[in-house]
Structures are given as structure tokens and as C-alpha cells.
């Protein structure tokens, strides 16, 4: 197990290194005037000269790259000249919002998806199975922006017209404003993201459970008189969760870089909305910081998922 983890960590570091090279080439080598590009369209000549001096753009490319990596390793993701603050400051303000959205919706979509998938698998080709499958396909086919607008229309607009103000139109309330207020602002975004994601987990769990429940060791467990509930949950579900965990790791890591559509619909100033605003403003230092953070999150998530395989399925041997 330890050699496997060390090897996967080493591979992850190589991937991150390649990403830093790609990001550096894209933003620091490709532009004709790097300082002007990083400063933005409204930068003054003095600002451009200051950026050129701070980044050492008169140095050889290899020296600029080493300085770029060294600063990133020490948590320095650059300076946002558009807002006159470090990039880490902007990301520190946006990350808690994205974390609130991703963690809350992940709990909902995993619970809903696995539960529906198991129920559908143990009752194949029944009305229950067909109903759950239809439910999953319906939300799987629905764009998240459309679902978000539908929820806003019925649960905010229509209720507000009738004098019932349960959900806000959007925005974010930090935990400091109170747990109830925080939940009230996050419920609609949570379910918008969770219902779309849960459809994938329902299908994954159902298909994996159907395969596992047909295995010899499951039939052996049943022949020994073990209760069906224990067979399904302890022997079947544990092995069937391997593809679900894989998908979960990829989804959460990707969304940590910003659930762009959901954040835009509900005006949540998380990493996704911050990235969109930065692209519109050509605020390249912020884009670079978010790209590096999102890439690192995906690499770490994949390492964690690989380590969980051996815990979930004893048949998996990690060498």
C-alpha cells in the first residue's frame, strides 16, 4: 500500500509539473508583451513597467519559469493588478463559497444517487426500477442552468408573489450571518447541482450493483443463510462502490475549481463566477491561480480515490 501511494504521489507531482509548464508557456511565453497582457487592458505604462520588474521578464525564460514555480510552491500565485490585491486574497474569499456549494450538494447527490441505485438494482425490471430510471434520465438530460431557473421561478418568484419568502433570489450569506440564513441561501443551489449529479450516480450504482449481485461470492453468502439486507449492503454495495468513488473524486475535484453555471445562476461569488469575471476582464493572474488550484485538486482527488479502492474492495491489490 505504501509503495503504491508513494508511486501515485510521484506521478501526481509529475502531472502538476507538466501543468505548470503548460500554464507558464501559455501565459508567459506565448504573449508578445507579457507584462501588458498580465496588467490588463486598462493598465498604465507605469504599472506595466512595475510588473516587468517584479516578474523579472528581462531574465532568461528558464529563470522566469523557476521563479514562477518557486513562488507558487510558497503560496504566491501572483498579484491581481485589476483589483490591486494578491490573487490568493481573491481566491480565499471565493473558495469558502465554492466549498459550501460543493460539499452540501455532494452529500445530497451521493445519498440520493446511491440509495436510488441500490433500490433499483435489487428490484430490476419492476415499476420501482423503471420509475427511478426515468427520474434519473429526466434530470440527467436537464441542463443545470435550466433546473436552477425553474427552481428560482417556482420556489422564489411564485412564492414571493404570494407573500411567502422562504428562499432568496440568489447571493451568499456566510456562516457568520447565522446557520439558518446560510442554509436558506444554499438550498436551491445545492439541489440544482445535486439533482443533475445524482442521476449519474443512480445509473452507476444500479449497473455496478447488478453486476456484483450476480457474482459467486454473493450467491454463496445467500446460500449460507445471511439476510438479504446484509448481503446487499455489506457484500454487494461495498464492492459496487468502486466506480462510484471514482466518479465522485473526479466530480468533486472538478467542481472545486468552480461550479460555473450554478454559481452564475444564483449569483454566488465562488471560484467559478470569479473565473468567468476574470476571463471577461482579461484578468490573467486570477485565471492562472484558479487553473493551478483546480489542477492540483484533480490530482489530489485521484490519488485519494486510488487509495480508497483497497479499502472498499478487498479483491483489489495495490502494488
Question: Residue 304: its pLDDT value, please?
Answer: 85
Q: What is the pLDDT of residue 190?
A: 95
For residue 117, what pLDDT is reported?
A: 92
What domains are there in the chain, each with its CATH number? 2-76 (no CATH), 88-284 (1.10.3720.10)
Percentage of residues in the chain with pLDDT exceeding 90? Answer: 31
Task: Give the pLDDT score at 3.
Answer: 77
Over the stretch 256-277, which tens digit does the pLDDT of each residue have? 876 888 999 999 999 988 998 8
CA 143 and chain centroid, separation: 17
At 37-67, the pLDDT tens digits run: 766 666 677 777 777 777 777 778 888 889 8
C-alpha cell at 281: 476582464
Residue 212 has what pLDDT?
Answer: 86
Euclidean distance between CA atoms 199 and 194, whole angstroms: 9
pTM here? 0.85
Report, as ranges of residue numbers, the positions in the chain whose pLDDT lies below 70. 1, 30-32, 34, 38-43, 258, 310, 312-319
User: What is residue 128's predicted lDDT score, i.e. its pLDDT?
Assistant: 92
Amino acid at each position: 500500500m505504501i509503495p503504491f501511494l508513494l508511486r501515485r504521489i510521484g506521478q501526481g507531482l509529475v502531472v502538476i509539473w507538466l501543468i505548470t509548464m503548460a500554464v507558464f508557456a501559455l501565459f508567459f511565453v506565448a504573449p508578445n508583451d507579457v507584462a501588458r497582457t498580465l496588467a490588463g487592458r486598462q493598465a498604465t505604462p507605469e504599472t506595466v513597467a512595475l510588473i516587468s520588474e517584479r516578474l523579472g521578464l528581462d531574465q532568461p525564460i528558464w529563470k522566469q519559469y523557476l521563479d514562477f514555480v518557486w513562488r507558487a510552491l510558497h503560496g504566491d500565485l501572483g498579484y491581481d493588478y485589476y483589483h490591486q490585491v494578491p490573487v490568493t486574497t481573491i481566491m480565499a474569499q471565493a473558495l469558502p463559497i465554492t466549498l459550501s456549494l460543493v460539499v452540501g450538494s455532494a452529500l445530497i447527490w451521493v445519498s440520493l444517487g446511491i440509495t436510488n441505485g441500490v433500490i433499483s438494482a435489487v428490484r430490476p425490471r419492476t415499476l420501482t426500477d423503471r420509475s427511478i430510471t426515468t427520474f434519473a434520465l429526466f434530470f440527467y438530460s436537464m441542463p443545470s442552468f435550466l433546473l436552477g431557473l425553474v427552481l428560482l421561478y417556482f420556489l422564489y418568484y411564485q412564492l414571493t408573489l404570494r407573500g411567502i419568502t422562504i428562499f432568496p433570489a440568489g447571493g451568499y450569506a456566510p456562516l457568520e450571518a447565522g446557520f439558518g440564513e446560510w442554509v436558506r441561501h444554499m438550498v436551491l443551489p445545492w439541489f440544482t447541482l445535486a439533482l443533475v449529479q445524482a442521476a449519474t450516480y443512480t445509473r452507476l450504482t444500479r449497473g455496478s450493483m447488478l453486476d456484483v449481485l450476480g457474482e459467486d461470492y454473493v450467491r454463496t453468502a445467500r446460500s449460507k443463510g445471511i439476510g438479504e439486507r446484509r448481503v446487499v449492503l455489506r457484500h454487494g454495495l461495498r464492492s459496487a462502490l468502486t466506480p462510484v468513488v471514482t466518479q465522485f473524486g473526479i466530480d468533486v475535484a472538478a467542481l472545486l475549481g468552480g461550479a460555473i453555471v450554478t454559481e452564475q445562476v444564483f449569483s454566488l461569488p465562488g471560484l467559478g463566477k470569479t473565473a468567468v469575471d476574470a476571463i471577461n476582464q482579461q484578468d490573467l493572474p486570477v485565471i492562472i491561480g484558479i487553473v493551478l488550484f483546480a489542477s492540483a485538486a484533480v490530482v489530489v482527488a485521484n490519488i485519494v480515490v486510488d487509495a480508497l479502492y483497497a479499502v472498499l474492495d478487498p479483491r483489489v491489490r495495490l502494488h
